[in-house]
Chain A
Amino acid sequence: MQIYLPVADLPVDIFLVLAMGLAVGFISGLFGIGGGFLMTPLLIFIGVPPGVAVASVASHIAASSCSGAISYWRRNAIDVSLALMLLAGGFLGTAVGVWLFSLLRVLNQLDLTIGLSYVVLLSIVGMLMIIESVRVIIRERQGKPVVLRRGGSHTWVHGLPMKMRFKRSKIYVSVIPIWVIGFVIGFIGAIMGIGGGFILVPMLIYFLRVPSATVIGTSMVLTLITMAAATFMHAITNHLVDAVLALILMVGGVIGAQFGTRAGQSMKGEWLRLSLGLLVLAVGLRFAFELVVQPDTLYSIRQTGGG
């Protein structure tokens, strides 16, 4: 069944978009990520203008992370003070990212920059996650006790000043790395048009040793706030949010996220990280493929102003 999108100015198959929302929602609930890095390319693929895709996906991610965040809130699996500290760095990072975004746009190199940063970032993050989780899995198979790094082991991160106690996560760390992580996520989000949850979760685990009990819930709260803000910004600056498209994506997304959240709770952490790593790497390679392999047509048309 076709439905006409009033802002994107084109008809789409409502069931196709709903199914895409469900699938990405499931993945976002499963891993506690926004899923923007999957949804935006999918929408562009079915013909939605890139600008409309990025802007509408922001509201879709806000909805699915809202539904996810409420589920985690009920389980008391959110560290509010940690989320607020990350947010402080996030706002600054977004501002710097938006500034660089307009600079690259003027230099006419935005497309290539976005493509390359997707490849580099997704491939590296995906590889790291795969290596780490495979190591853990192999160790378990060999019957060796898994080295629990929490508690005793300290890294240089723990030597930094301005320490703060986060009761819910049971960690005592400096706020400096938290602000830096928030900044990086905000910056990447503004440049690449993604929520950044898939990078935030591993960074929280590896650098701050946030326990798996609170890491996904906290990441979801951060995603919810940044994506709600991004939706609003997109709506008032470039008027590219398509509410009809957003609503279809949201309905599919929130339902998928509910099932994803449940599936995630019954999966082991390292297997979860391995599958996310494979997924992230696959998307990164897909972008690399596009950059390296000769395209069907060397020409492309882009409306000036939009997108």
Chain B
Amino acid sequence: MVACRQSLGFAAILAASMIGAAPAEAERIIPSISRHRVQVTSSFDGTQIVLFAAIDREAGAPPRNYDIVVTVFGPKQTVVTRRKARVLGIWANVASRTFINVPTFISVLTNKPIDGIVKPEVARRLQIGLENIVLPQQIGPDIADTVRDDPFRVNFVKLQVEQKLYSELNNGVTFVSPIVFRADIQLPAVAPIGSYEVDVKLLADGNMITRVNTAFELVKFGFEQRVADAARNHGVFYGLATVLMAFVTGWLASVVFRRD
């Protein structure tokens, strides 16, 4: 079923690449994502989204060794990173750094290690890899990213990687043919609800040739959607229902387990 759907998508890409109008650049990417809407149900335990793409080349353009960088960004959120230190023998939060509107989820997928694709300064400029993606922070009155080995930045990324929210996979993109590739986007169970942006960069000889964006969204569905919606928008009703649920559960238990 999945294989069938993928090959259909693949055929669509090929068809699209054949009838495509004359591109301004020598190459362009035609992406196709397996699902634009992922439904989170009660059994949601992470999922996988497949991105298929074809490289559409101008007729007669010389074949090149292409490299691909796919970066997936989750919904943005402002978070505080705190650092503990010993104060009078007690470990207390003494310093903090606010990360402003940073992606809650980042997945960097490449066809080989990043240092084999681009030079460090190019990677920096193109924001390729976790250590090069700009993470705006409140520093005094300014909002800026810090140097990559800033302790707050390093530990923020480390914690996010441990939570499986940030990841970097240098075999996440595989070439099906010299001009067709696929990227397997792994969404962990903890992936936040919201819209995700997928940025696909095509590189060759250490330079970016072109890039394209696509997107998908993670939405709650059915029962989960209704509960979350009630909790947010009908607080009084939801609160009363929860209290009533507590009373009924307690009463039922005392009836069921009644001995005397």
Contacts and interface: CB of A to CB of B under 8 A. Distances in A.
A4 B251 contact: no
Contacts of B235: 235-237, 239
B152 A231 contact: no
Given A4-B44, A7-B228, A258-B253, A250 B92 contact: no
Given A228-B246, A241-B231, A304-B78, A112 B239 contact: no
A235 B239 contact: yes
B95 to A, nearest CB: 10
B156 A299 contact: yes
Interface in B222-242: 223-225, 227-228, 231-232, 235-236, 238-242
B227 A244 contact: yes
A129 to B, nearest CB: 25
Interface in B58-107: 77-86, 89-93, 98
Contacts of B253: 67, 254-255, 257-258
B251 A299 contact: no
A302 interface: yes
Contacts of B245: 59, 63, 243, 246-247, 250
A295 B246 contact: no
A74 interface: yes
Nearest to B240: A232
Interface string A187-227: 00000000000000000000000000000000000000000
A67 B242 CA distance: 15
Interface in A50-68: 59-60, 62-68
A36 to B, nearest CB: 13
B238 A4 contact: no
Given A300-B81, A303-B77, A231 B250 contact: no
B163 to A, nearest CB: 8
A129 B252 CA distance: 33
A234 B92 CA distance: 27
Interface in A68-126: 68-71, 74, 111-112, 116
Contacts of A239: 231-232, 235, 238
A255 B85 CA distance: 43
Interface residues of A, number: 61
A237 B235 CA distance: 8
Contacts of A67: 249-251, 253-254
A164 interface: no
A2 to B, nearest CB: 5
A301 B253 CA distance: 40
B144 to A, nearest CB: 19
B189 A231 contact: no
A232 B238 CA distance: 8
A147 to B, nearest CB: 34
A181 B77 CA distance: 43
Interface stretch (B35-43, B49-57, B111-119): B35-43
Given A4-B43, A70-B251, A244-B227, A11 B220 contact: no
A215 B246 CA distance: 23
Given A62-B243, A64-B250, A232-B240, A4 B224 contact: yes
Interface in B190-228: 190, 192-193, 220, 223-225, 227-228
Contacts of B26: none
A243 B152 contact: no
B45 to A, nearest CB: 5
Contacts, number: 185
Contacts of B224: 4, 6
Given A10-B190, A241-B239, A299 B83 contact: yes
A112 B96 CA distance: 14
A34 to B, nearest CB: 12
B77 A241 contact: no
B260 interface: yes
A111 B227 CA distance: 29
A56 to B, nearest CB: 9
A254 B250 contact: yes
A232 B239 contact: yes
Given A62-B250, A236-B236, A4 B42 contact: yes
29 contacts: A4-B40, A6-B225, A9-B193, A59-B246, A62-B250, A66-B251, A67-B251, A68-B250, A71-B254, A112-B92, A228-B243, A228-B247, A232-B243, A240-B231, A241-B242, A243-B227, A250-B250, A251-B249, A255-B257, A257-B253, A291-B91, A292-B89, A298-B84, A299-B81, A299-B156, A300-B81, A300-B84, A301-B160, A303-B77
Interface of B: 40-45, 77-86, 89-93, 98, 152, 155-156, 158-160, 189-190, 192-193, 220, 223-225, 227-228, 231-232, 235-236, 238-243, 245-247, 249-254, 257-258, 260
